Structure 1
Amino acid sequence: MKEIIQINLDNEMDLILAHKRCMKIAEMCGMPSSFQTRFSTAVSEIARCSIAKGTDSLLVLGINIIKATQKEIVAVITDTVDLKSCSPEAFNYASKISGHIEYSYANNQSVTKISQPVTAPGLLSETKIKSLIDYFKFEPPLSPYDEIRKKNIELIALSEKLAESENKYKRLANTIPVLICVVNERNNVLLVNESLENYLSLPLLIFDKKTLGNFVHSQDIEEILEGWNKAKQNKSDYIGEARIKKGQDYIWHLVSIIPNKAEDGSFTSWLVYFVDINAQKMIVETLKDNTELKAIQRELESANSKLRFKNKELEQFAYIASHDLQEPLRKIMIMLSRAGEHLSEDQKKKYYFDRITLAAGRLSNLITDVLNYSRIENKEQYFEPVDLNDVLQEVLADLSMVIEEKNAIINVNPLPVVPGLDTQLRQLFYNLINNALKFNTSLPTVTVSYEDVPKDVNLVTSAENYHVISIADNGIGMDSKYSERIFDMFQRLHERDQYGGNGIGLALCRRIIENHNGMINFSSKPGEGTTFWIYLPKK
């Protein structure tokens, strides 16, 4: 149904509005006067019942397009009361007049639908329906009551938008890690955000020397007040530094006092920000008179500049590897395919077609693996909560064809939610489970478990700070003498014709784990399978 207009049913005046607008819509749709009256009367009868007996009543008038040649005017009255039980005679009368009435009541919601087919549906084009909507949108008031009601509806909408805007502002002010308050010209504190409230031991009500003394260092109070007085006199900004008390210590903060302007350019209040600059201040103080550290700083800046340049070169190399190296490989493989179309199998063997194709494919896989390894960045990134159960389901879906082909059995225990990077953790589990399926001569069985950290594991901090996930298989296993090699780049323990791959997968796993400040190790015996242990910090 395409909605034309809504009417809240609160009193008898709304009943008059409902009747008039039903008549008007029916008239504009080309409905004969007798049908206009029948439809409007049936709607009015239910609307009267809703006003008398109901609560939170709403009338919606619209056009229902059943198909191109079949359209109808529809009135839907909703209420939180079972109207039909309250006034069955009203519904009987409306049904007798209209003949097109439906009623339902469920979940404390009654819905009455009254419809009237349009005898000339061809007249109700999309343009016509839009004109109906615009007509009632800009319709002049039918009475002083209607005008007042429209103004009230507009005011309510504006107040809701204003409340929403204020809530967004408050959420923003309370979320950012900056201490904020709003002060008027009489030094009264009008607003304090949650960050500042949590920081203070006493409420901040007045922006004066006595109150500031509760949390500002005594040597910095006069400077703040002097800046505050100048800001008030000149209607200007003030920026300074002060030490703010936190526990038993004082932390350096940047203090900013900025006029809080209204839309018309006037202002009667100021925004006061306290931003933590203690780390920067300590560095400046330490470096102030220390020439040796200044020299080291210059060397570090130079090294950082060179490192940024090298990183840029590596990015360019990655681009070349992903495009310029892959492109000729694709062309070689396409030309080999085309060249071999007219050769027999003996001729293909004679000219080493199979070996050339395999070599090109291995080179393409190698380039892809190296690129994947290089994209695991070690720089600080924003970790988010990652549900490892979701990650594992996605990985198993990606490996579903391999699992089905090998008739593998995958056992999965519930896994935790960890802070991390979803894409990298998915790649970690994919590589380890794929290896478990690949390095296996029997029917593979892979078990993914979450359990307590083994006591014999040497971790940097307490074992309680880590999640441990194990991935165990019944594969070919490996000798413990290779424990120092398997996580290195391009390390392979088997011939290429036995098992595929380029020896990068486990190196990639270790880099992902290091990027998450965790650890990975394994236990294995030849012919008895392998268990990988993944340690991820809880925080």
Structure 2
Amino acid sequence: MKEIIKINLDNEMDLIMAHKRCIKIAEMCGMPSSFQTRFSTAVSEVARCSIAKGSNSLLVLGVNIIKATQKEIVAIITDAVDLKNCSPEAFNYASKIAANIEYSFYNNQSTTRISQPVLSPGLMSETKIKGLIDYFKYEPPLSPYDEIRKKNIELIALSEKLVESENKYRQLANTIPILICVIGERNNVILANESLENYLQFPLLNFDRKTLSNFVHPEDIDRILEGWSRARSNRSDFLGEIRIKYDNSSYIWHLVSIIPNKSEDGSFNSWLIHFVDINAQKMVVETLKDNSELKIIQRELESANSKLLFKNKELEQFAYIASHDLQEPLRKIMIMLSRAGQHLSEDQKKEYYFDRITLAAGRLSHLITDVLNYSRVDIKKQQFEEVDLNEVMSEILGDLSMVIEEKSAVIHVNELPIVSGLHTQLRQLLYNLVNNALKFTSADPIVTISATNLPDEKNELALSGNYHLISVSDNGIGMDSQYSGRIFDMFQRLHERDQYGGNGIGLALCRRIIENHNGSIDFTSQPGKGTTFWIYLPKQQ
């Protein structure tokens, strides 16, 4: 059945609407007037029982195409009460005047199906059915009650999407392992994540000298207040190092960043502040500053420091996306909700705002999912096991079967090794690479996944003989060598969103998975000639 319209059966006004809309659908489908009356009367009889004696009653009207030239109008009434047992006389009357009526009561829900054949000739095309749906979607209200009811339904749906988006955003903010807060123009704390609240063990309400003195080292308070004042006055960033209280007698070093948040109209009315623990780096620097006997160790630690700073940079990107990119769709939803009620007709509201709200919420949902997947890639408390990559590829090709069929893709999978690792992460790695190969192409994709023992003279890992070399090759659009330095960075996109989908997280996730497995990933590519990704995974010892 093609659903045309739903009506909640709550009162007599709903009964009137149900009757009129039954008549209208029957009329638009070419049903004779006598049959229109019989069908709508039968539906009204059962609907009246639902309103009088039922609970959570819902009427769904639609068209059922039995075959090319045979169709019927269908009304389905669901209720939490056994309606036929409550009003047998109403059902008897409806059965006499309706062409077909079916009733069932199962699992505390009754279902009444009333149908009436449409004898007029002609096909019921998808275009005509869409026209019926659009007619009732955009028809003028039958009464002030109908208008208010429509608006309430729309606002409830929008409110549910907004709450869902806000919950996902808050979940992401609380997942990030850094201390985050958002400050307003008057030093008031608008938002603080759980990491900050748990660290301070008291609610952070204001960002002023009195509050800061409770957890910031006395010698560092002027530094952070001066940076905060400068950032607020100049609408600029601030970056500095301060000490935050660890317990009653000690402090640890943190890198503090203050970043202005830009609103939709271009103004600045809040600032993102986050604190990253850099105490280990500071202690290393102080310890090794003048110690000539530990110069070799210092160089090793400096290398580790660089990696740690890189990780901190990634965390900073997390904080930025949480405060800006992820909030952008939410701000759009709230602005559009506000504008939708200002002197606009229902048609204008639907045409200009509500569809955009749905798109913004959907984009945010995908972005949150991708970022959460990236943040959860971790090997702590997980044990490596033997993973057969042939089985992994079989699962992946099953998941992508619809895309492969749609794009007429050809997939070649040669014999792959058994490796030591985490099944879920290795599956995500190969899934991302194969999915990219199917996505970034302008012709029928040809993808080849294979393993080789031939050493790559340009790679030290392959020359050592201790690593499996796995390749994922495609005939896609390829990329220029100028992108080799940043293709695996977070949120890097080489194409506009309307050309190819995604959020620029997939390859960053691949690199992180490879790092967890003590391996390496690289690629070779030429524009228009495809790309090959090279994966190096340690052999089992």
TM-score normalised by the shorter chain: which range applies? 0.5 to 0.7
Q: In the alignment, what sits opposite 2:50?
A: 50
Q: In the alignment, what sits opposite 1:255?
A: 256
Unpaired runs of 5+ residues, structure 2, are 305-376, 395-419, 428-464, 467-515, 519-541
Check 1:116–1:287 CA distance in 2 against 1; reply closer, same or farther (3 A cut).
farther
CA shift, 1:420, in A, is 5.3
Contact 1:22 1:39 in 2 (8 A): yes
CA distance in 1, matches of 2:111, 2:386: 41
CA shift, 1:120, in A, is 2.9
Contact 1:174 1:195 in 2 (8 A): yes
CA distance in 2, matches of 1:389, 1:25: 61
CA distance in 2, matches of 1:256, 1:88: 72
**Partner AA of 2:423 in structure 1:** D
Check 1:300–1:180 CA distance in 2 against 1; reply closer, same or farther (3 A cut).
closer
CA distance in 2, matches of 1:148, 1:174: 38
Q: Secondary structure at the match of 2:58?
A: strand
Q: In the alignment, what sits opposite 1:71?
A: 71
Unpaired runs of 5+ residues, structure 1, are 304-380, 399-418, 427-487, 490-513, 517-539
Deviations 1:131-151 (A, max 9, x none): 212222222222222222222
Q: In the alignment, what sits opposite 1:277?
A: 278
CA shift, 1:36, in A, is 0.8
Give the structure-1-normalised TM-score.
Answer: 0.55
Q: Secondary structure at the match of 2:122?
A: helix
Check 1:236–1:128 CA distance in 2 against 1; reply closer, same or farther (3 A cut).
same
Higher mean alpha-carbon deviation, 263-272 vs 278-287, is at 278-287
Contact 2:65 2:124 in 1 (8 A): no
Higher mean alpha-carbon deviation, 277-286 vs 133-142, is at 277-286
CA distance in 2, matches of 1:102, 1:110: 11
CA distance in 2, matches of 1:281, 1:302: 14
**Partner AA of 1:274 in structure 2:** F
User: Any residues of structure 2 matched to 1:372-383 within 5 Å, and which?
Assistant: 382-383=378-379
CA distance in 2, matches of 1:14, 1:302: 72
Check 1:423–1:269 CA distance in 2 against 1; reply closer, same or farther (3 A cut).
closer
Q: In the alignment, what sits opposite 1:268?
A: 269
Q: In the alignment, what sits opposite 1:311?
A: none
CA distance in 2, matches of 1:390, 1:105: 52
CA shift, 1:295, in A, is 6.6
Contact 1:386 1:420 in 2 (8 A): no
CA shift, 1:203, in A, is 2.1
Contact 2:256 2:275 in 1 (8 A): yes
Check 1:85–1:266 CA distance in 2 against 1; reply closer, same or farther (3 A cut).
farther
The answer on 1:10 being equivalent to 2:10 is: yes
Check 1:387–1:123 CA distance in 2 against 1; reply closer, same or farther (3 A cut).
farther
CA distance in 2, matches of 1:252, 1:515: 31
Deviations 1:115-160 (A, max 9, x none): 1112136331222112212222222222222222222222112211
Q: In the alignment, what sits opposite 1:188?
A: 188
Check 1:153–1:382 CA distance in 2 against 1; reply closer, same or farther (3 A cut).
same
Contact 2:255 2:277 in 1 (8 A): yes
User: Any residues of structure 2 matched to 1:86-485 within 5 Å, and which?
Assistant: 86-120=86-120, 122-247=122-247, 249-286=250-287, 288-289=289-290, 382-383=378-379, 421-422=422-423
CA distance in 2, matches of 1:423, 1:270: 38
CA distance in 2, matches of 1:229, 1:170: 28
Check 1:185–1:298 CA distance in 2 against 1; reply closer, same or farther (3 A cut).
same
Deviations 1:9-58 (A, max 9, x none): 22222211111111111111111111111111111122222122222222
Check 1:212–1:384 CA distance in 2 against 1; reply closer, same or farther (3 A cut).
closer
Q: In the alignment, what sits opposite 2:31?
A: 31
Q: Secondary structure at the match of 2:242?
A: strand
- Greater relative contact order (Cα < 8 A, sep 6+): 2
CA distance in 2, matches of 1:20, 1:184: 53
Q: Secondary structure at the match of 1:258?
A: strand
Check 1:154–1:389 CA distance in 2 against 1; reply closer, same or farther (3 A cut).
same
Q: Secondary structure at the match of 1:169?
A: helix
CA shift, 1:99, in A, is 3.7
CA distance in 2, matches of 1:290, 1:387: 39
Q: How many residues align?
A: 335
Check 1:143–1:240 CA distance in 2 against 1; reply closer, same or farther (3 A cut).
same
CA shift, 1:173, in A, is 0.6
Check 1:389–1:251 CA distance in 2 against 1; reply closer, same or farther (3 A cut).
closer
CA distance in 2, matches of 1:89, 1:384: 68
Check 1:206–1:388 CA distance in 2 against 1; reply closer, same or farther (3 A cut).
closer
Check 1:181–1:425 CA distance in 2 against 1; reply closer, same or farther (3 A cut).
closer
CA shift, 1:292, in A, is 6.7
CA distance in 2, matches of 1:296, 1:388: 30
**Partner AA of 1:189 in structure 2:** V
CA distance in 1, matches of 2:115, 2:9: 19
Q: In the alignment, what sits opposite 1:343?
A: none
Contact 1:81 1:108 in 2 (8 A): yes
Give the structure-2-normalised TM-score.
Answer: 0.55
Contact 2:383 2:422 in 1 (8 A): no
Check 1:200–1:423 CA distance in 2 against 1; reply closer, same or farther (3 A cut).
closer
Between the two proteins, what is the percent identity of the paired residues?
76
CA shift, 1:212, in A, is 1.8
Deviations 1:476-519 (A, max 9, x none): xxxxxxxxxxxx99xxxxxxxxxxxxxxxxxxxxxxxx979xxx
Contact 2:421 2:517 in 1 (8 A): no
Contact 1:217 1:244 in 2 (8 A): yes
Check 1:384–1:241 CA distance in 2 against 1; reply closer, same or farther (3 A cut).
closer
Check 1:296–1:199 CA distance in 2 against 1; reply closer, same or farther (3 A cut).
closer
CA shift, 1:68, in A, is 2.5
Q: Secondary structure at the match of 2:7?
A: strand
Deviations 1:223-269 (A, max 9, x none): 11222222333333322222222345433222122233332333433
**Partner AA of 1:232 in structure 2:** R
Check 1:93–1:285 CA distance in 2 against 1; reply closer, same or farther (3 A cut).
farther
CA distance in 2, matches of 1:301, 1:12: 77
Q: In the alignment, what sits opposite 1:522?
A: none
Deviations 1:82-105 (A, max 9, x none): 222222222222222214111222
